[in-house]
Amino acid sequence: MKHKLLSFLLLLSLLPGATWAQTFVNLTPRPASMTVGTGSLVLPSQFTVSYTGLDEDGVNEVNQFAKSYTDVTGAAVSEAADDASALFQVSLLPASS
């Protein structure tokens, strides 16, 4: 029994090393493509988030993001439907099976 427990603990101790080697980016929802690099992203003090094809709940999420971001940063974030010039574009993609 002790041998099995020690073997299990040894295997378990190796697990975090394997996960540290992977690059993890916490983005939800998952982007269609992404390249991980170094640097920073500086957002302007005024920008627009555009949405296309969203239901009422989706539009409410965009509005809530804009309000929360404005409250936290003081930036002027507006939201608009189908604005091709907006800094952020949010659209609903069909589900893949």
pLDDT tens column, 44-87? 999 999 999 999 999 999 999 999 999 999 999 999 999 999 99
Contacts of residue 27, defined as CB under 8 A and 6 or more positions apart, other chains included, come to 34
**Residues 57, 92: Cα–Cα separation, whole Å:** 12
28 vs 53, higher pLDDT: 53
Q: Are 53 and 91 in contact (CB under 8 A)?
A: yes
Q: For position 23, what pLDDT does the model report?
A: 65
pTM over 0.95: no
Q: Are 73 and 37 in contact (CB under 8 A)?
A: no
**Pick from 39, 40, 59: which is nearest to 50 by CA?**
59
